[in-house]
Amino acid sequence: MTEKQTYYVSISGKRVEPEPSINDQLTVTATQAEISELQQLLDQIQRDDEKTQFRAPIPYKSADNDKATDKFNEDIIKVYEAVYALGTAETRDHIRQMNILNKLHDSDYDYPGYER
């Protein structure tokens, strides 16, 4: 069994660090494999973000029906789901207060890390 360690996740910085820094970070406890998976999700939102930035300066193009924006939104939710599942009690409380994970409100959702 692989030992879990404490890591600090900066979603805006799209990175996981072994030591806390001055940036806003969420604390998780995870194995190295779990952190690798989380970093892959963060890398994906970085790629999504790069795609959406090309549309941003076009004033007549709405983001309402933009596939790149939809993909970014879906992937950022995946990141928050992963951080919630690995997060400390304080991290989970913070994410609950953000009210961005609808799955936390669905009592029929039965996955580890999500409350009933």
> CA 7 to CA 74: how far, in whole Å?
24
82-109 per-position pLDDT tens digit: 999 999 999 999 999 999 988 776 555 5
Contact call for residues 83 and 11 (beta carbons, < 8 A): yes
Q: Name the pLDDT band for 57 (thresholds 50, 70, 90).
A: low
What's the pLDDT at 15? 93
Look up residue 52 and give its two tokens: 């959406």
What does the alpha-carbon distance between residue 109 and residue 6 come to, in Å, rounded to a whole number?
Answer: 27
pLDDT, mean of residues 15-21: 92
What's the pLDDT tens digit per position in 26-44? 999 999 999 999 999 999 9
State which amino acid sits at residue 29.
T
Residue with more model confidence, 54 or 77: 77
> In the 8-state DSSP scheme, what is residue 13?
T
Amino acid at 35: I
Residue 54 has pLDDT above 50, yes or no: yes
**Helix then strand then coil, % of the chain, to nearest 5:** 50, 15, 40
